[in-house]
Amino acid sequence: MKKRTVLGIVFCISLVFSSLFYSPADQTADWFSLTPLSSRVACAKTLYGVAVAETEHGTVEASVKLSEPKKTVTIKTVPDEGYVLQSIKVMTQEEVQKDNKEVKVSGKNNQYSFKMPFTAVKILATFEEKPAEYGIEIAKTEHGSVTASTKLSEQNKPISVTATPDEGYLIEAIKVLNQETNTEIKVSGEKGKYSFTMPAAKTKVTVTFAEKPAETAKAETAAKPAEEAKPAEMAKPAEEPAWENPFADVKESDYYYEAVRWANQKGIAVPSGAGDDLYEPEAFCPRAQMVTFLWLAAGSPEPENTPGPFQDVPSGAYYERAVLWALQNGFVYGTSDDTFSPEAEVTRGQAVTFLYRELGKATEGENPFTDVTEDDYYYDAVLWAVANGITSGTGETTFSPDEVCTRAQIITFLYRCSGK
């Protein structure tokens, strides 16, 4: 009995003595090893656990399961087919959960890494279904080339389009169509560089190129006078007045330069509402502006009766007299009995119709366009406009009557009409 007591006392004393060499802060990954500090310093390195949380729709692999502090640990993620990695993070695993901290992770394309901290960690990754991608089709065209920044894209991604006309040609129009809803998508940009936001549907990009208009021939020197005529009696050829371009956004190299010059000299092309030195050639043209261009080109005639029937044409509006004049002469009509919709954008079909009703004559010939039928109100106008070089189709068999026109296109149509 005494022998057992003595052995027990010795055992207790040895436990107390051994405890002096333990360091709670210097435990191994399993936190239950009771290795004396002296032995651990001499024989082992401190290792901490690297755990991977369970996840769905993919797998996650760490390069090690145990690591020393400050060592680099790599992570490889492999999404299942049809899925992509949504997020990845590494969290410390403290004894008290609220003390857990996120460890900085770097990398991309399913290859990541982090520096091992002085504690165990857990890797948490989530996968999500891969976003749908939609096709971008470039319509066949002539007299130029068109490219898009990609052939497939997710929704809401920016898409760039580059259009390059052949020598002697220019860009007449660009249209991006949502092929699911058959509606146009807003396009921004100019001078061959354009962009649009990808919808959740296939799209079709159509660019129309047109032949550059012939340059205005300069006045030739008058023919030699008859011998009996005196030089003082000779009539001098009229000189074209010099034009000081007031528009910072209209360059001499632009296809619409001559049209804007002609229109500005006649008081037709005026600055846009964006500034006194801006014409905004790429801005869409509303019905109010189109009718005003026609009215100014006709010499600003006074309408016979005022006020008019349209509730959305306020008295004193810059386009009031133009709308009433055009209505009374049968060039335009309202969108209903009491509305004109002055801010609605003018389409190609509407534009050639307005011009045809004022300036055109019926034209005989075959209709090459599958999107223009004899039942359409713009049928005769389209044939007349194409036959007289006012505009052309957007393709061999398409006119795109619902495509919206810009201020540059409208003023160019009017300029071409001036010589017809």
Stated as kind and residue range, the H or E segment containing 208 is strand 203-211
Domain boundaries in the chain?
Answer: 48-129, 133-211
Judge contact between 385 and 392, C-beta under 8 A. Answer: no
HSE-CB at 320 with a 13 A cutoff on CA atoms is: 14
CA of 32: how far to CAs of 29, 35, 69, 118, in Å?
8, 9, 19, 17
What is the arithmetic mean of pLDDT over 324-333?
A: 86
Q: Read off the pLDDT band of 275 (50, 70, 90).
A: low
Token pair belonging to 227: 């011998």
Q: Which of 218, 263, 227 is nearest to 243 (CA)?
A: 263
Structure confidence by residue, pLDDT tens digits, 202-250: 999 999 888 876 543 333 333 333 333 333 333 334 445 678 888 888 8
HSE-CB at 369 with a 13 A cutoff on CA atoms is: 23
Q: What are phi and psi of 173, to 5 degrees?
A: -160, 155
* Per-residue buried b or exposed e for 281-306, using 16+ beta carbons within 10 Å of the residue's own CB: bbbbbbbbbbbbbbbbbbeeeebeee
**What is the pLDDT, as a whole number, of residue 270?**
63
- Based on its alpha-carbon atoms, the radius of gyration of the chain, rounded to whole angstroms, reads 39
Q: Which SS3 state, helix, strand or coil, does residue 121 take?
A: strand
**What is the pLDDT, as a whole number, of residue 120?**
93
**What is the pLDDT, as a whole number, of residue 44?**
61
Q: Read off the pLDDT band of 134 (50, 70, 90).
A: very high
Q: Read off the pLDDT band of 146 (50, 70, 90).
A: very high
**Rounded to an integer, what distance in angstroms lies between the CA atom of residue 142 and that of residue 54?**
57
Q: Which of 403, 345, 346 is nearest to 372 (CA)?
A: 403
What is the arithmetic mean of pLDDT over 299-314?
A: 83
**Rounded to an integer, what distance in angstroms lies between the CA atom of residue 325 and that of residue 336?**
17
Percent above pLDDT 70 for the chain? 80
Predicted model pTM: 0.45
**Rounded to an integer, what distance in angstroms lies between the CA atom of residue 303 and that of residue 324?**
6
Average pLDDT, the chain: 80
Q: Which of 41-45, 221-225, 287-291, 305-309 has the lowest mean pLDDT?
A: 221-225
Stated as kind and residue range, the H or E segment containing 38 is helix 37-43
Structure confidence by residue, pLDDT tens digits, 152-162: 988 888 898 98
Alpha helix (H) residue ranges in 311-377: 320-328, 348-359
Q: Which SS3 state, helix, strand or coil, does residue 81 take?
A: coil
Cis-peptide into 307, omega within 30 deg: yes
- Calculate the CA dihedral of residues 26, 31, 33, 37 and round it to 10 degrees: 10
Q: Read off the pLDDT band of 139 (50, 70, 90).
A: very high
**Rounded to an integer, what distance in angstroms lies between the CA atom of residue 209 and that of residue 395?**
9
**What is the pLDDT, as a whole number, of residue 78?**
94
Residue 149, amino acid: S
Judge contact between 170 and 177, C-beta under 8 A. Answer: no
